[in-house]
Structure 1
Amino acid sequence: MQIESKGTKIGRVLLYAFLIVSAFFMLIPFAWMLSASLKYDKDVFVFPIQWIPTSPRWHNYKEIWTKIPLGIFIKNSAKLTIIVTVLQLLTSSFAAYAFAKLRFKGRNALFLGYIATIAMPWQVYMVPQFIMMRSFHLNNTHLAIIFLQAFSAFGVFLMRQFYESVPDELCEAARIDGMSEYRIWAQIMLPLSAPALSTLTIITFVNTWNDFLGPLLYLTRTELKTVQIGLRMFIGQYSSDYGLIMAASVVALVPVIIVFLSLQKFFVQGVATAGLKG
């Protein structure tokens, strides 16, 4: 049994102390948001901060449902997020299998060209995309958001890195047994890639749920808007209801927390495994 040296123990203690302090400072904004959601507007920016309100205003959480159609916005966000997440899991895992386990001419060049798009900011091709969607008459439809986000270069990269860690002999044995490439992908690769799929699910869900600029560009009708756009409705021309904004933000954060806590045990494993080979 290996015994840790004194220097190693001190280093480990310092590392844990640094991580605890970092986590504390990262959680301060969330604690402030939760505290502000229970205050009147006049008390939100009072200094020094009153972390626990003396008279919590729970009515904020009731008023957010009546002042704007928050229920419709959450429904739209859930619809878009679930559809986009499912499509990205399918397209990314399927394309990644082809890049990792199939041999065809120009495979590496095609993969590098596709992955290179990650380095290109969305603002560069935002206008051409908008013109294209408008020419397809998809403005003010959820299909515009779904079509544009159904494919992910990062998702393909993540899944391919994981598939590279799966032995090629496993696929070769399946082909000898007469299994098609579709069956190998569906019955062998997908079950083995649960950690990577969980990681991609968390990343895609959070990005789609929190997307603001995309829905802002394509959705102008109230009944189609998402919860992130709906939060702007609490901001008027001359004043802002900060207590209501914080209350609605807390409600909007709940689905993200639920998804992360449900899949977090696979998250670190998926990220670590994706970097083993490739």
Structure 2
Amino acid sequence: MNCKVALVTGASSGIGEATALKLKALGYTVYAAARRVERMHPLAQAGLHVLPLDVTDDASMQACVQDILARSGRIDVLVNNAGYGSYGAVEDVPSDEARAQFEVNVFGAVRLIQLVLPQMRAQRSGTIINITSMGGKMHTPLGAWYHGTKFALEAISDCLRLEVQPFGIDVVVIEPGGIKTEWADIAAQKVVETSGRGPYAPQAQAMARSMVGQTSRKYQSPPQVIADTIARAVSARRPKTRYAVGFGAKPLIFLRRLLSDRAFDGLMRLATGISRQAA
């Protein structure tokens, strides 16, 4: 019962998988949770507890947290990592898809926070880590709904930090840059499916190329850099409120602060290639 306990969502691949293994190496009892349980067999073999979790299903989230408390009696770290990128022109994205993006990236994360907080308050300790993105501080073409979720989670994290500080609970935001995961492939597929035909098609094709092109993949950081950052945060007596890590995160967030809106728009058009597409 003295061993610290961590719940990591979206643990079937990428950042979640790397984080779950890193926390296990630090001595945590780790519960790795995701929809794709069959993909977490290597984690189970490594001694992690594997749980099914659908962050769009309240019953699934309640069952997950209750299972952890029944087995371990406490939750010290929640890593809200589950999420995906849905790209497409605002005019094109169906309302159902927009809502789904918020359900996964925002409401699922917040509901898990609500479920773990009573135990953390009772313990008078805990760390909530929300994985946002450098996209929670800047914008890219055809990414309105995705960026909207990340901006929202950033704001929620700030308010939450004020609320839970008196109970000894830390709230940490991790803002990844370009990371070598499935994220880019899914986002590129979404943008082509959604806006690959019609007036926004040139922009959609350019965005897809910029996401999965050789140059982008060459410079993306491995998921381990995020896992290592999370490890530093949970090990610190007083962690930072934010960590911007991974390819492009710090310079792009800095440029967004430095440049005017239109100057940053121009930078994004140039960087993504949409400036070379006919209107």
- Does TM-score exceed 0.5, indicating one fold? no
Interval of TM-score (by shorter of Structure 1 and Structure 2): under 0.3
What is the TM-score when the length of structure 2 is the normalising length?
Answer: 0.22
Bigger radius of gyration among the two: 1
What is the TM-score when the length of structure 1 is the normalising length?
Answer: 0.22
Larger strand percent: 2
Higher relative CO (Cα under 8 Å, sequence separation at least 6) belongs to 1
